[in-house]
């Protein structure tokens, strides 16, 4: 999971459309964990 793939944008679009979004991603690197915690988790 990284910013280049746009998961944070997908969340924005889903919210704007009033839809639920289910994502599946491998999170292995420290940078991926940090991105997830800052931009995806609990949003």
Spatial distance between the Cα atoms of 13 and 19, rounded to a whole number of angstroms: 9
Write down the pTM of the prediction.
0.71
SS3 state of residue 27: coil
What does the pLDDT average to over 4-27?
94
What pLDDT score was predicted for residue 43?
64
Q: Is 1 exposed, middle or buried (0-12, 13-18, 19+ CB in 10 A)?
A: buried
pLDDT band, very low/low/confident/very high, at 20 (cuts 50, 70, 90): very high
Average pLDDT over all residues of the chain: 91
Q: 14 — phi, psi (to 5°)? A: -65, -45
Spatial distance between the Cα atoms of 33 and 43, rounded to a whole number of angstroms: 15
């Amino acid at each position: 999971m990284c910013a280049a793939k746009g998961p944070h944008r997908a969340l924005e679009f889903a919210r704007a459309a009033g839809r639920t979004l289910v994502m599946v991603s491998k999170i292995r690197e420290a940078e991926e964990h940090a991105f997830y915690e800052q931009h995806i988790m609990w949003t």
